[in-house]
């Protein structure tokens, strides 16, 4: 079911995004995403892992490589046109998943927390569909060091400004070539992210940070449903 409020803004950018997230387009960044995702998710012995906001399915191989059976959902039909070559997919809104309570052994949501206006609502919905003891991996841009408030032109000297507390959607970015400058992004401060997970009933078991030059550009956690 797709909520009337959600719009598939990636439809017009899907071919570009598919290339951006390819091994050639994404390079070290994609390798870092996959290594961090694998570290947090752990082995799956064939069970289903729901890839929420799966986009073009860029991480299906990493999830499958751990032994999980990935299944993707996303709002954008054009993103899913690419993803369908990589995993089974369905059109769905991450805040209204067409799945029964407690029906999914694992889920991931990668690089999408800044694409939804209310990420805590996504966390609540994922927690709803997770089985007791189910694993959820959040992986996204680092809330403290990536955003409109962060000048990363020299990553080793990342400069943060007072816009850290501004949660609004913006196209402001330190570069002109990324997702943020093209599609805009919301900001989810660290406390909102962790409080959202806790409020959803996810117990954080592990966290991870990764990035170049000692200033991480990725932050993730493994949450387990009580
Ligand atoms: C930056 S892309 C990330 C895609 C993929 N997870 C990856 O890491 O490459 C964000 C994705 O979130 C999707 N999205 C945004 N809001 C959504 C929603 N409410 N429900 C489902 N998907 C949504 C977009 O269509 C887009 O494909």
Domains identified in the chain and CATH numbers: 9-143+187-225 (3.40.50.150)
Lowest-confidence region among 5-9, 115-119, 192-196 = 5-9
What is the number of the ligand 1 atom nearest to the C-alpha of 79? 27
Give the pLDDT of residue 26.
78
Q: Which residue has the higher pLDDT, 125 or 214?
A: 125
The predicted-structure confidence for 68-110, as pLDDT tens digits, reads as follows 999 999 999 999 999 999 999 999 999 999 999 999 999 999 9
Of 1-5, 27-31, 34-38, give the range with the top mean pLDDT: 34-38
**Ligand 1 atom closest to the CA of 115, numbered from 1:** 15
Q: How far is the CA of 116 from the centre of ligand 1 (A)?
A: 8
Nearest CA to ligand 1 atom 27: 55
Q: Which residue's CA is the closest to the ligand 1 atom numbered 13?
A: 53
- Where does the pLDDT of residue 5 fall: very low under 50, low under 70, confident under 90, or very high at 90 and above? very low
The two three-digit tokens of residue 43, written as one number: 């082995």
Q: What's the whole-number mean pLDDT along residues 11-35?
A: 92
**Straight-line distance from the first to the last Cα atom of the chain, in angstroms, rounded to the nearest whole number:** 26
pLDDT at 4 over 50: no
The pLDDT mean for the chain works out to 95
Angle at CA 157, nearest 5°, toward 180 and 138? Answer: 45
Is residue 2 scored above 70 in pLDDT? no
Nearest to 94 by CA among 125, 50, 117, 58: 125
Average the pLDDT over 172-193 and give the result.
96
**Site residues for ligand 1, CB cut-off 6 Å:** 6, 8, 10, 21, 53-55, 58-59, 74-76, 79, 93-95, 110-112, 115-116, 179
- Smallest CA separation from ligand 1 atom 16, residue: 116
pLDDT digit string, tens, across residues 135-165: 999 999 999 999 999 999 999 999 999 999 9
pLDDT digits (tens, 9 = 90+) for 200-217: 999 999 999 999 888 999
With a pLDDT cut of 90, the percent of the chain lying above it is 92
pLDDT at 220: 98
pLDDT at residue 6 in the model: 62
pLDDT at residue 3, as a whole number: 43
Q: What pLDDT is recorded for position 136?
A: 98
């Amino acid at each position: 079911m797709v909520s009337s409020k959600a719009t598939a803004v990636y439809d017009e950018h899907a071919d570009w995004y598919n290339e951006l997230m390819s091994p050639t387009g994404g390079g070290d960044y994609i390798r870092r995403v996959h290594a961090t995702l694998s570290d947090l998710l752990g082995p799956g012995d064939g069970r289903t892992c729901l890839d929420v906001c799966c986009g073009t399915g860029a991480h299906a191989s990493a999830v499958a490589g751990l032994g999980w059976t990935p299944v993707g959902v996303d709002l954008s039909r054009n993103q899913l046109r690419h993803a369908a070559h990589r995993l089974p997919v369905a059109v769905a809104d991450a805040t209204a998943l067409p799945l029964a309570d407690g029906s999914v052994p694992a889920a991931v949501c990668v690089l999408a927390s800044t694409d939804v206006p209310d990420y805590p609502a996504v966390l609540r919905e994922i927690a709803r569909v997770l089985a007791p003891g189910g694993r959820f991996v959040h992986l996204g841009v680092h809330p403290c060091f990536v955003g409109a408030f962060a000048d990363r032109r020299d990553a080793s000297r990342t400069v943060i400004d007072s816009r850290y507390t501004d949660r609004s959607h913006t196209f402001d970015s330190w570069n002109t070539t990324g997702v943020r400058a093209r599609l805009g992004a919301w900001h989810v401060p660290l406390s909102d992210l962790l409080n959202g997970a806790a409020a959803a009933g996810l117990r954080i078991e592990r966290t991870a940070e990764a990035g170049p030059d000692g200033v991480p550009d990725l932050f993730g956690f493994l949450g387990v449903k009580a």
